[in-house]
Amino acid sequence: MSRSEKITVWVEVKGGRGPRRFRVGRGCQVSDLLRRMGLLSEEFIAVRRGMVVAEFEPLKENDRISLIKVFSGG
Amino acid sequence: MAIRCDFCTSKARYLQRHSGAKFCGRCFTKSLRRRVWRDVGRNRMISDSRFAIFAVSGGKDSVACLDIVAPLGRVRRTQMAVLTVDEGIRGYREEGIKRARKAARASDLEFHTASFKREFGADLDSIVDRLGSPKRACTYCGVLRRWILNRHARDLGADRLITGHNLDDEAESALLNLIRGDPARLARSGPNYILSHEKLVPRVKPLRGIPGKETLLYDIFNRLDVHLGSCPYAGFDFRNQVRSFLNQVEEDRPTSKSSFLSTVDRLSAQFARLYAGGRLVECSRCGEPTVGGECKACQLLRSVGLL
């Protein structure tokens, strides 16, 4: 298994548009994904199958990640 | 292999960037409660309170604050209740009020509501209509909400008003006050309440040292039902720009917000001595405490023809 091998993950920002598909390197972590999307880990919490995922957690093939915005405003 | 929590054998769910500690949900909850309880005790937030009111919007911070501090109040035999303000924002506020009521029930506390409509004769939506633009909605909302919270908390007989302001809110406000060049307001901020007028119910902020991300994590780990919707007027506030700036700085250098806030706290203690002569007086119209003449709430109401 090499980092150059690609996997598919689906990412949805809660309250935003539907899930978007990303091709990322195997071993890519949640923090790498956020960076690639131009988002700050300070501003989002990642959830997979209803459980919070730490930012050092590696993504798996066909993962569905929901991102909850910390600052909703109001 | 899964990375483990630093404090037990469960799977880690959160990396606290400023300390490097990894937490599972349970150990994170324990650690956060301990930190808040320590701050509440250290700053004597409710130690001599007979009746404390929680200002609960139904959002992530106020619901977490209620869940963490209410048990402490029960141990200390402090009478407590929940107060929610309905500003009147169609399609947004109703959901928050539902969550606030549910949180009060879960903590077995009496639930009170107050509304802009009942108090001022107009809700925030109609005030924005009168203004002709949503740009200053947050200014009106903030000032009028603080007025209502103080008036109702006092009418209910409370000697403390507990709010859910977190580290991010406080760092943003501190920077906003510096940018606006408002040292007098800075002098009135800080971790310790100052009883500056007999009609002003002292406000305390137990989550002042907790980042917003951690209050939301607490809600998720403890399955608290909170309202995460966005206020339709929030996008127009200058605070958003300040927030984005501080978040970017914190991302690059964790602990920035807390070091900034503790520096500002030290400055505000100095400012407090400089502005010690400025006592609060009663507003010439409504009688609420103000720095002089007519209070800000009355001025704003007059500007939109509600006085």
User: In order of start, what are the domains of chain A with their CATH numbers?
Assistant: 6-69 (3.10.20.30)
Over residues B91-127, the pLDDT tens digits come to 999 999 999 999 999 999 999 999 999 999 999 999 9
Choose from A35, A52, A53, A69 for mutation: most chain B CBs within 10 A.
A52
Tell me the average pLDDT across B244-250: 96
Instruction: Compute the nearest-CA separation of B29 from chain A (Å).
Output: 13
Q: What is the pLDDT of residue A44?
A: 96
ipTM above 0.90, yes or no: yes
Kindly report, residue by residue over B177-202, the tens digit of the pLDDT.
899 888 777 777 776 545 578 999 99
pLDDT tens digits, A2-57: 567 999 999 999 888 789 999 999 999 999 999 999 999 999 999 999 999 999 99
Q: What is the pLDDT of residue B161?
A: 97
In the prediction, which pLDDT does B185 show?
78
Q: Are B190 and B208 in contact (CB under 8 A)?
A: no
For chain B, what percent of residues have pLDDT higher than 90?
A: 83
Residue B164: closest CA among B239, B100, B253 = B100
Identify residue B223 by its one-letter amino acid code. R
For residue B57, is pLDDT > 90?
yes
Q: Which residues of A touch B15 (CB under 8 A)?
A: 54-56
- The answer, yes or no, to whether residue B76 has pLDDT greater than 70, is yes
Q: Does the CB of A16 have a partner CB in chain B at under 8 Å?
A: no
Asked whether the CA dihedral B79, B31, A72, B174 is positive or negative, the reply is positive
- Please give the pLDDT value at position B273: 76
Residue B40 has a pLDDT of 96
- For chain B, the distance separating the N- and C-terminal CA atoms, rounded to the nearest angstrom, is 66
CA A51 to chain B, closest CA, distance in angstroms equals: 8
3-state secondary structure of A41: helix
- Of residues B205 and B272, the one with the higher pLDDT is B205
For domain B41-303, which architecture applies? 3-Layer(aba) Sandwich (3.40)
Query: How close does chain A come to B213, measured CA to CA in Å?
Result: 6
Nearest to A40 among B57, B60, B247 (CB): B247
Mean pLDDT of B60-88: 97
CA distance B278 to chain A (A): 31
Selected residue of B13, B18, B244 to mutate for chain A interface (largest A Cβ count, 10 A): B13
pLDDT, mean over chain B: 93
A12 CB near a chain B CB, below 8 Å? no
C-beta atoms of A68 and B234 within 8 A: no
Q: Does A70 touch chain B (CB under 8 A)?
A: yes
Which among A43, A56, A66 is the top mutation candidate for probing chain B, defined by the most B β-carbons within 10 Å of its own β-carbon?
A: A43
On whether any CB of chain B is under 8 Å from the CB of A55, the answer is yes
Mean pLDDT of the region B217-223: 98
